[in-house]
Chains A and B, each alone.
Chain A
Amino acid sequence: MDWGAILSNAIRSGVGPDAIVYALAAIGLNVHFGYTGLLNFGQAGFMAVAAYGLAATVATFGLSFWLALLVGLLATVLLALLLGIPTLRLRADYLAITTIAAAELIRLLLGSVTLKEYFGARDGLQQFASTFYALNPFDGRFHLSLGSVGVNFSRNDTWVVFVGWMLVVVSCLIVWALMRSPWGRVLRSIREDEDAVRSLGKNVFGYKMQALILGGLFGALAGFMVGIKQAAIAPTDFATDTTFFAYTILLLGGAARVLGPVVGSIIFWFLIQFLGGFFTQATRGDNPLMPTWLMTDQQASLVRFIIMGLALMLLMVFRPQGIFGDRREIAIDGR
């Protein structure tokens, strides 16, 4: 068992592009669910709309990358309005069902052969991120090691990771500033007691809509990062499980805490890669550590997701506030 390689990969994953994408997505969900109590199960839809807005503007229509970022953000705002108007007046479970359905609808549309001309069907879109990579100021790969444990990023990945963590920091600062403002306090009070806020003369629907848009925009940043980190996007990047994983991350780190999603994402991706690496090595070779009747090398990559599902259940039952959260601040008591 090569612990050095397992740890190296796990650390790389914990600070790498995946962790950044999911941290941003979970920051968005934190605004929705953590602060406002909106059960948005369609974060993957927001990510998809932004990523495809970016990619299609550049790859399909040949316009500039910077304009494309704007198109992606606008598309997200539009989606938030479209989703919010029918559902924000409804109970939490209705919002959950509608948003999950909308995200799947978007994914099916983007992956359809009918719209292949614009969105590339199952193959998705490529070649839209060259402007981003052309700006890369780093002139070599990133390497940091301690004994047999080391983190390695290629030149391009270093640039992606650098920009990604900058985005995460800025997003956290924005959330921190907004949530200590009077506006943020209204959001929290909506989460605690919507009717009380309404009786104080606040426009609850308007506040919820603003929160939905703001959280969606963080989702859009996550979507941009998905496209940029792999310089390609496909509908499978935005499956329903994407949202579920982001929820797991949010609940792991702690909802309604500024740094909850970030810490959650780092731990989540570290563990996913660690477990993946461990079970892969444990089932590898002629005389594997794990008996083959129990687990084959093909099953090894699935164990981490089984554990993850179990962890989400146990977390929600025994410690719904996650690592950092405050139990009184989680909107889980149902309305």
Chain B
Amino acid sequence: MRVRNSAILLLLVGSLFALLGFTAAQAETMVPTEHGGLHINGTLRDETDPKTPKPVEGVDVTVSTPEGDPVGEATSDAEGKFSVDVPEAGPYVVEIDDKTLPDGTFLRDKKQLKLTVNVLGFDRSVLFPIGPDNREVTSKFTQSLTLAANGVLFGVILALGALGLNLIYGTTGLTNFAHGELITFGALSTYMFNTHANLPVIPAVVCGVLVSAAFGWVQDKGFWQPLRKRGTGVIAMMIVSIGMSIFLRYSYQYFFGGATFSYTQYVTQKSWTLGPVAMAPKNVMVIIVGTAVLIVVAIVLAKTRLGKATRAVADNPALAASSGINVDRVITLVWVLGTGLAGLSGALLGLRQQIDFQMGFLLLLLVFTAVTLGGLGTIWGAMIGSMIIGLFIELSTLVVPAELKNVGALGILILVLLIRPQGLLGRAQRVG
């Protein structure tokens, strides 16, 4: 089950990247390669003994169009490899002739003789698993423990983003649709420090967060503060933030392309195991660092004069100003803190997944969900909401296909608004 899920996940992630990278990939690879033309290829291996797969020779594979017109055929060679030329990108049906399989060899899924594949301008490999189904099956309990650990990891990353969003929302009333791009900013700048300035990942993350915070300062001083001075309403600012989201996202794509990146270190790590739960050391570190930062920020906001000033501005800017608080400075500080947190969220997310120009944008709706669930504008609400969403997303894969895990989370959002619109920790004020 676990393996199947991760296979689906892999497939899904793969297809997502294929989709995202499609424009770029198309531009890059539509040009015929040196050896010319497109191929559908694959390797047939008998995995009865998974440690020593044996190539299967002499199996006929035919490729045809979805309408049934034959395109080409091939027979697997001594290494079990086959390759069929296809004339152009498009959908094809690949069929394996099970009569030509050697005796004692059979497909894992005996009904899966045909596969429909979509060739997208580059060679496409297909997989026909051969041999008995000997994939590992883990118990539901172990599975849920591992999933819960992953959920906590995702929840922490989400919480950093959500806290940033909530701080800015709480003090300025702006629902910042460009917040996802601030998360991406953290990941991309960390990546730049890591690869172009040759810093190790840990100092690169620190630098990335600092640059993000500086970006927040520039944004507020150079853009949002003048807008507030002009008396621009919050809905207008929300739409401005949409424009900014589009502007930043396509700018990232302009400079970084549609490709995905990863940091130079910690890409694959041997997992630490604690009882039945296995987790890569980097992920444990992400959880520890993230949680520490969240707690420190929460304490600072709860205990210090600065935190008090922030809440005063959030409650009533005019009153805060008249009691001697420098409202503009508090808001700028909140922007710096909020974008810094978003940057950290992105930098840490880059350890968990590949980095690309829209990683933050894809996360934004989950951040919104977490924030609404916890209560818009509340500090602890953002964290609790994120943790619930993180755990829910990972644990829901026990019962629903992995591809639908985000659907469940977005469904929760709509349910919450029906039952408790102010969110778990929101004040029961009038929200309509």
Contacts and interface: CB of A to CB of B under 8 A. Distances in A.
Interface string A292-326: 00000111011101101111111111001000000
SS class, residues of chain A in contact with chain B: helix
B246 A241 contact: yes
A125 to B, nearest CB: 13
A239 to B, nearest CB: 10
Contact of A333 (B227, B235, B243, B245): B235
A97 to B, nearest CB: 5
A316 B240 contact: yes
Given A101-B368, A298-B257, A334 B247 contact: no
Contacts of B372: 94, 97-98
Interface stretch (A82-90, A130-138, A152-160, A163-171): A82-90
Contact of A90 (B173, B251, B431): B431
A74 interface: no
Nearest to B403: A112
A105 B407 contact: yes
B27 interface: yes
A237 interface: no
B413 A98 contact: yes
B246 A108 contact: no
Interface in A56-115: 83, 85-87, 89-94, 96-98, 100-102, 104-105, 108-109, 112-114
Nearest to B405: A108
A104 B362 CA distance: 10
Measured as residues with beta carbon below 8 angstroms from the partner, the interface class of chain A is 35 or more
B418 interface: yes
Contact of B239 (A241, A310, A332, A333): A332
B126 interface: no
A123 B239 contact: no
A302 B407 contact: no
A247 interface: yes
B15 interface: yes
B285 interface: no
Contacts of A320: 236
B257 A113 contact: no
A197 to B, nearest CB: 14
A313 B244 contact: yes
Contacts of A303: 254
A308 B232 CA distance: 20
Contacts of A102: 410, 414
Given A332-B232, A334-B173, 5 more contacts: A90-B421, A94-B432, A113-B401, A311-B243, A316-B236
23 contacts: A90-B417, A91-B432, A94-B376, A94-B421, A97-B175, A98-B372, A101-B365, A104-B365, A104-B410, A108-B410, A114-B401, A247-B242, A298-B257, A302-B250, A306-B247, A306-B251, A306-B254, A308-B246, A310-B243, A310-B247, A312-B239, A332-B235, A334-B236
